[in-house]
Amino acid sequence: MGGFLRARRALVDPPRHGGGRRRVPGLRREEVAALAQVSTDYYTRLEQGRHRRPSDAVLSALAEALELDDLATRHLFDLARAVPVSARGSAPEPVQRVRPSLHLLLDSFTEHPAFVRGRRTEVLAMNRLAASLLADLPARPARERALVRWAFLDPEARRRYVDWEAVASSMVGTLRLDAGRHPGDPLLERLVDELSAGSAEFRAWWADHRVAERRDGTKRLVHPVVGRVDVRYEALDVTGVEDQTLFVYTTEPGSDSQAALHRLAGLVAADAGPVASRRGTQAET
């Protein structure tokens, strides 16, 4: 939480609060404390991690002082309330599994790429069309199935995404949200360490503590065989389980992208035997 408060404090424009231009960006600690109506000593202890359970009223005041949007405010509350893995005992986190009926649903989308994303942006299952349009992540070793890992460490991802920087930075924000909900997750920490070592862009975006959650939007992709495919996507929470999201891609009717995706679907169907969604074996714990 301290790192998040420091990073967001640096993003606030001082002149909007009566401060002049300064060499160090953002608000000073005493300015945030005054805006939130808490003492400077108390706020300093929050940033330094010496006070970990502020009240909801204090959190709301800090969110307003730091000009957080709804998503960042929710993340601040997650950070304040979360119980680290080490404090929950030695029982491992349950393995995320996609129920059989959801695999059947994925397989029914023969003209639409679709996949299920779990914690740490891991792809838990995807249909063949999604595997061809993006990458067959469930077929990879368990440690290599995260979308964010593919985006930063596989050069092919930069060739697939026309707007790679926007897509990749958004994935970092999504990973930040997951870290707030599940502090101390050893698999997430290992993933962050690997990405930090392998990508300067990841290190910079991870350090700014921005959060992101995309429920719908567009992505512009380039497939090596059928070319440019612009898709719209919807992200739908899977009912009955935590931290599973179904993504479905569609194209504009009558567009070049629809024609390209239709060609790709035909190639996938011709190259495959009986339809079966791509799924990984049991994930590492």
Q: What is the pLDDT of residue 16?
A: 63
What is the C-alpha separation between 240 and 214, in angstroms, rounded?
21
Q: Which of 81, 116, 145 is the last residue of a domain?
A: 81
Q: What is the pLDDT of residue 271?
A: 83
32 assigned to some structural domain: yes
Residues 170 and 73 in one domain: no
242 assigned to some structural domain: yes
What's the farthest any 2 CA atoms get from each other in the chain?
68
Q: What is the pLDDT of residue 54?
A: 87
What is the C-alpha separation between 149 and 236, in angstroms, rounded?
22
What is the C-alpha separation between 54 and 5, in angstroms, rounded?
13
pLDDT in tens, 182-192: 988 999 999 99
Residues 202 and 112 in one domain: yes
Q: What is the pLDDT of residue 284?
A: 42
What is the C-alpha separation between 32 and 19, in angstroms, rounded?
12
Q: Which of 50, 81, 112 is the last residue of a domain?
A: 81
Residues 145 and 274 in one domain: yes
Model-level pTM greater than 0.75? Answer: yes
Residues 151 and 74 in one domain: no
Q: What is the pLDDT of residue 115?
A: 98
Q: What is the pLDDT of residue 3?
A: 87
Can you give the residue range of the structural domain that contains 142?
100-279
271 assigned to some structural domain: yes
Residue 123 maps to which CATH number? 3.30.450.180
Q: What are the 10-residue block averages of pLDDT along the chain, 285 residues in total?
A: 86 68 78 90 87 86 89 87 60 80 95 97 97 96 96 97 97 94 92 97 94 92 97 96 96 98 95 58 43
Q: What is the pLDDT of residue 279?
A: 64
Structurally, how many domains does the chain consist of? Answer: 2
Residues 270 and 150 in one domain: yes
pLDDT in tens, 120-169: 999 999 999 999 999 999 999 999 999 999 999 999 999 999 999 999 99
Q: What is the pLDDT of residue 198?
A: 96
What is the C-alpha separation between 229 and 223, in angstroms, rounded?
7
